[in-house]
A and B are shown apart, each in its own frame.
Chain A
Amino acid sequence: MNIKEILTGQEQDKLFLLGNEAAVRGALESGVSVATTYPGTPSSEIGNVLSVLAQDAGMYFEFSINEKVALEVAAAAAASGLRSFTFMKHVGVNVASDSLMSVAYTSVQGGMVILTADDPSMFSSQNEQDNRHYARLANIPLLEASSPQEVKDLMKYAYELSEEFQLPVILRTTTRVSHMRGVVELGPLAESKNKGHFEKDPHRFVPVPVTARIMHKNLVDKMDKIGVLSNNSSLNPIYNNNGNIGIVTSGSAFNYVMDVVEENDLPVNILKVTFSYPFPEKRVYEFLENVERVLVVEEVDPIMEKEIMAVVGKHQLKKTVHGKLDGTLPMIYEYNPDIIIQGLGKMMGVEIAAIKAAKTSFELPKRPPTLCPGCPHRAAYFEVKKAAENLKLNDLIFPTDIGCYTLGIESPYEVADYLLSMGSSIGTSCGFSKATDQTVVSFIGDSTFFHAGIPPLINAVHNKNKFVLVILDNRTTAMTGGQPHPGLPVDGMGLEAPELSIPDIVRASGVEFVEIINPLNVHKSSEIFEKALQFDKVAVVISQYPCMLIKTREEKGKNIILDVQDDKCTKCNTCIMELACPAIYTRDDGKIRIDPLMCRRCNVCVQTCPEKAIRAKRIDKAGEEG
């Protein structure tokens, strides 16, 4: 499939789409005019696809500087009568939350959908927070999708709901839905409005105490009405209808339940909750009437489980509720069919499937992700540690941040000591430099610096901190797949855009020590790090070299290989132990080799080999050596 088919596909066509791609089609079928995001897995592909399609679709799309701004751009568009779509990973909603709380009060004019992509089991996140709580916190409606088709269909429904009640709607996916690929039948595209018009109404749009009190009352009244809808919604259907056991489930967990129940022909009743906030209490009450015991299957927190216990308590029903709280199912992490089999078996007192899975007779080595061959971060890490060693500094703290460079946690780099969230490297460096006498060197990426690094840097200067900040500027948002940011001359739709200079921003923030290095120049960079470490205020070193994943695409002739000269190599293993580059390996006979296909010829090993045993060598064709 060509990605453009998500736009050009006709009604009733079938496409094989990721949940994230289906969200884009849903936006196109809803006539969305403005879409915004800050990239974050598992939501990243939504933005990647929109950045390709937005222009042809006649809509506006941007990679915003962070999620708060993304939500604000979308809120203003919706206040102006346009349909807007903002989407982010679960922790992105934390960043956006300040404005999210108010947009429920101010209400919207055009429909507004906020997609949160939660990450149970933390495939690529720092936590597995359950964003269904946000619907409760902000008091706005929540829909939960279980398949790509549903993602698309719920997008359309969410816009209708949003416009009918003039409230934003949250659509929650999880990694297994965002990255599930399935057959999606398309609906008709909708025309999107080019421009809206903002009708002034301060009583509606400016929440100050006197207006906010009224707004909150209106919000509660609206949510009462929407509660009637969720109780009667066809989005909360009942399946099966036999036996005295009930299962209430939502999202991905619904899929696992259905597979296990159908495969084993189990006599149970299933209530699928898609329109999950306002919680459909009445629906649940009716469902409970026909069962004696109910198992609640949800990811991640026991939210519905407690809601159902409340229904049981309120009506003094003699029903048992099983789930996370009584240990029938695990409290944390994502579910899968095997977990459901065990939980249901425990509850029913039977063994549902008796097959014992095969196991290896020995432990397997793990395969942790690592920095790519030629990654400029590897060089920067080496140089910082070398500089500290030269200055005999041995008590260092390395606050780190969110991006590929968090992989610096692995041996042998070990340059990731503390991490909270986007931008926390700088804020926590302020704290460490006040709280201890240890040397603080923190790392942040270029995109993360723009996202949340600027206010804490200003804080650091104003409050007279001393630490070294390394801005790892690899000219892209690498971890999430290479999206642009304000430091690049291109915007989210691929159009030319003003390129903001990181060094200028750093200088304007009052930093007196600002140096730019090319990290692949090992000795010079180490010297600059030494100077930075001796500076008695905030020192910023900007390590500038493009991500190798971009560089590779641009690469032309590949007629150079890096070659280990066996007569010089003493097998000291410095290259293997200190650089841990995936391209450098030890052969069975103990000789060290560099894989010419993996090697990106960054020359860092050439410069750091104590025996000068590695050299660059010209060959006719790469891949013939080794």
Chain B
Amino acid sequence: MHPYQIYISGVGGQGIIKTSVIMGEAAMKKNLPVVVGEIHGMSQRGGEVSTQMKIGTSHSPLIEESNADLILAFEPLEALRGVNMVNKDTHVVMNTAPIYPFNISQSEHSYPDSSTILNELQSHAKKVITMDADEMAKKAGHILSMNMVMLGGAVAVTGFPLDKESIIKSMYDNLPERSIPINLKAFEEGFKFCMENL
């Protein structure tokens, strides 16, 4: 099976690793081969973080340039930073809530505005789905459920190799019990939004 390749990007502390673990375990329980490459350590102090994942036969989790099937971007600038992974068949699901680098006011390059980010991505990808996942998470009950909004969005994308039920089961296996209701709500919101906007 040619692997389905997912590039997840964002900022340290947004719950990227948890999201990839939920997907990966769901794949494993369906007997699909799966590998994930994570970044730990220094980059977690507000730096950029990316996780790469292949579901299907593969040795390394690292995705060749232009080979991502799905970009799941938890932050707009980090979506754009992953543009080298995008090709004409790539779906991008992006959270529109920006996190400005702490030194942006002294940075040589400014934070691009949202329409520029969208245009750049759209010119290279098949489809870019944008949602304010921060706001959707707050509505679901907690900002920290933002990663589950994004996960819901990913599951809705055409070609995503895992079904909703197996992802939900994996959420139960990987999230604290008391957080499940809010996280499920957040997941459903993301899923619904992406289904309607595909």
Contacts and interface: CB of A to CB of B under 8 A. Distances in A.
Given A179-B38, A369-B12, A259 B60 contact: yes
Q: Top 3 A-B pairs ranked by shortest CB distance?
A: A255-B60, A369-B47, A124-B41
Contacts of B35: 147, 180-182
A553 B33 CA distance: 36
A582 B112 contact: no
Nearest to B143: A597
Interface stretch (B82-90, B147-155, B156-164, B181-189): B82-90
Nearest to B124: A358
Interface of A: 1, 14, 16, 18, 41-42, 44-45, 123-124, 146-147, 176, 179-183, 252, 254-256, 258-260, 263, 336-338, 341, 353, 355-372, 404, 407, 410-411, 479-480, 573, 576-577, 580-582, 585-586, 597, 623
A573 B33 CA distance: 52
A369 B42 contact: yes
B47 A337 contact: no
B109 A362 contact: yes
B15 interface: no
A176 B37 contact: yes
Given A42-B41, A411-B103, A364 B80 contact: yes
A411 B106 contact: yes
Interface of B: 11-12, 20-21, 24-25, 28, 33-48, 58-67, 77-78, 80-81, 83-87, 100-112, 120, 124, 138, 143, 173-174
24 contacts: A14-B28, A16-B25, A123-B42, A124-B40, A180-B36, A181-B20, A181-B38, A254-B59, A336-B60, A336-B62, A336-B64, A356-B66, A358-B83, A362-B109, A365-B101, A365-B108, A367-B11, A367-B46, A369-B12, A369-B46, A370-B46, A480-B41, A581-B102, A623-B143
Contacts of A336: 60, 62, 64
Contacts of B36: 180-182
Contacts of A355: 65-67, 87
A407 B109 CA distance: 21
Chain A interface main SS type: loop
Nearest to B44: A369
A585 B98 CA distance: 12
B34 A365 contact: no
Contacts of B106: 411, 577
Contacts of A357: 65-66, 84-85
A124 B38 CA distance: 13
B104 A337 contact: no
B59 A255 contact: yes
A302 B53 CA distance: 29
A364 B112 contact: yes
A359 B66 CA distance: 10
Nearest to A406: B42
A183 B80 CA distance: 31
A259 B43 contact: no
Contacts of A179: 37-40
A65 to B, nearest CB: 21
Contact of B47 (A1, A180, A368, A623): A368
A582 B60 contact: no
A44 B40 CA distance: 9
Given A41-B42, A180-B38, A363-B109, 6 more contacts: A16-B24, A16-B25, A16-B34, A41-B40, A355-B66, A358-B86
Contact of B25 (A1, A45, A180, A372): A1
Given A180-B36, A182-B34, A364-B80, A338 B64 contact: yes
Nearest to B36: A181
Given A259-B58, A367-B48, A183 B21 contact: no
Given A16-B24, A181-B24, A176 B34 contact: no
Contact of A479 (B37, B42, B80, B86): B42
B60 A353 contact: no
Contact of B120 (A361, A370, A573): A361
Contact of B33 (A183, A361, A368): A183
B37 to A, nearest CB: 6
Contacts of B59: 146-147, 254-256, 258-259
A16 B21 contact: yes
A13 to B, nearest CB: 11
Given A358-B83, A369-B45, A364 B174 contact: no
A10 B67 CA distance: 37
A360 B101 contact: no
Contacts of A411: 103, 106
A490 to B, nearest CB: 23
B170 to A, nearest CB: 9
A259 to B, nearest CB: 5
Nearest to B138: A623
Contacts of B65: 338, 355, 357
Nearest to A119: B41
Contacts of A585: 100
A71 to B, nearest CB: 22
Given A179-B37, A357-B66, A582-B102, A1 B60 contact: no
